[in-house]
Amino acid sequence: MARYKLILAYDGAAFAGSQRQASTLSKAGARKAVRTVQGELEKALRGLGWSGRSVLLAGRTDTGVHAVGQVAALDMEWAHENVALREALNARLPFELAVRDVEIVNSDFHPRFDAASRHYRYSLFCEEVRNPLREKTAWRVWPIIDGNLLGEIAGVFIGKKDFSAFGSAPGKNMNTVRTVMQSGWKKIEDIWNYDVTADAFLYRMVRRLVAVQVAVAQGRCSVGSVVKALEKPQLKSGLPAGLAPAHGLELIEVGY
């Protein structure tokens, strides 16, 4: 018996989030299973003789959010090489989900509680007319954005701050202070990528950060309003409402 750490990649559009969920009732009243990353992984593991109750995940991603660096952990008896476990799982997993790497770790390793940082990337592009294929993994934004303003506003979020105006705590009366180590935009051809790394994130925080930054870059919100929302989160922020769509977001890496 050993504890295995798995690195997962998946197309978020194919799943109702990463975390296993209870079945739901259809319009006809029948029970319908909810397809999740955790559920599909556990199904594949049981096909290899795994008898555990639940796989541990580094964190939850919402419906539509993608990943190349989600981390899972489980205890399992496996008499073969790590690469054989990876290949055996990938042979049983649906096309939209893959195990990228497998390694044996300490028996007390926990992918969520041991995590020191999480790195997300958000992608967008500016086009007036919809582009169906590109919009599967990036947010189409119009009117066009000011790249200089994007660069200016991104740096405002770096540091230890109260981000309650940009997301929800995981539970009632829980801390909303987070430390952001990286926050910046980079343009590759006509795609804008926003990379943000923090010790942890509030619920839907990255999508909220992106939506507000786009509003600034379109002239619908001032940099000063964002600074005020960070410095005095107890006051009504005055920031525009809304979230960036889930399909532009990707979990890149969990650091330990």
Residue 20 sits at the vertex; the CA angle it makes with 107 and 136, to the nearest 5 degrees, is 110
Residue 122 identity (one-letter amino acid): Y
Verify whether residue 146 is a known catalytic residue: no
**d(Cα 127, Cα 225) in Å, to the nearest integer?**
27
Beta bridge partners of 250: 66, 121
Residue in 62, 101, 162, 199 annotated catalytic: 62
Find all residues with CB under 8 Å of 70, minimum gap 6, and list them. Answer: 7, 8, 9, 10, 18, 37, 57, 58, 59, 61, 251, 254
Annotated catalytic residues are 62
